[in-house]
């Protein structure tokens, strides 16, 4: 097996992200690969589908600012340089796939809650990443 050269870890900035980052960081270190961090902020308009006639601009800006701070904090903790930190907006699965292609990543690491039943049928971000990726995907069990 050839080693990994570029590892992309997609995190949600929760406390569980540390477990995912530790795993990705260890893999990157063992393979002497570059580690890229990604967080995707979902637009509130996607979450609510435009059903609520409200202006979410202020809330969206606040979410973006909190995400920047959170991503910066995790990057510092794991020694990831700012140019390898990516904060994007959109659907998480789509953004992960597009960035992994752009970076020519050969491993994507995501967290997975291992849901069953209805939650599994509805899908999850980890499942979406897995089924559209052009490289290896590691789903780290969290929660």
pLDDT of residue 86: 97
74 in any annotated domain: yes
Q: How far is CA 126 from the centre of its chain?
A: 9
Task: Give residue 141's pLDDT.
Answer: 86
**101 domain-assigned:** yes
Please give the structure tokens belonging to residue 99: 């960035």
Number of domains comprising the chain: 1
Kindly tell me if the per-residue pLDDT of 7 is higher than 90.
yes
- Tokens 């990516």 sit at which residue? 86
Output the domain CATH number for residue 125: 3.40.50.620
Separation between Cα atoms, residue 126 and residue 80, nearest integer Å: 23
Q: Is-contact 33 5, C-beta < 8 A?
A: yes
Q: What is the CA 57 to chain-centroid distance, rounded?
A: 23
pLDDT, tens digit, for every residue of 89-122? 999 899 999 999 999 999 999 988 654 443 444 3
Any domain includes 129: yes
Q: What is the pLDDT of residues 68-95, one digit of tens each?
A: 999 999 999 999 999 999 999 999 899 9
Residue 28 domain boundaries: 6-141
């Amino acid at each position: 097996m050839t080693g990994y050269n570029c590892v992309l870890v997609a995190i949600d900035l929760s406390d569980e992200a540390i477990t995912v980052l530790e795993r990705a960081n260890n893999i990157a270190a063992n393979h002497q690969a570059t580690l890229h961090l990604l967080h995707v902020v979902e637009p509130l308009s996607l979450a609510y589908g435009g059903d609520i006639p409200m202006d979410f601009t202020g809330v969206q800006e606040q979410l973006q600012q909190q995400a920047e701070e959170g991503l910066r904090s995790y990057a510092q903790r794991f020694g990831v340089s700012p140019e390898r930190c990516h904060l994007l907006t959109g659907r998480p699965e789509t953004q992960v796939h597009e960035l992994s292609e752009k970076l020519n990543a050969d491993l994507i690491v995501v967290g997975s809650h291992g849901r069953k039943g209805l939650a599994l049928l509805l899908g999850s971000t980890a499942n979406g990443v897995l089924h559209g990726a052009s490289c290896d995907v590691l789903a780290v069990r969290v929660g």
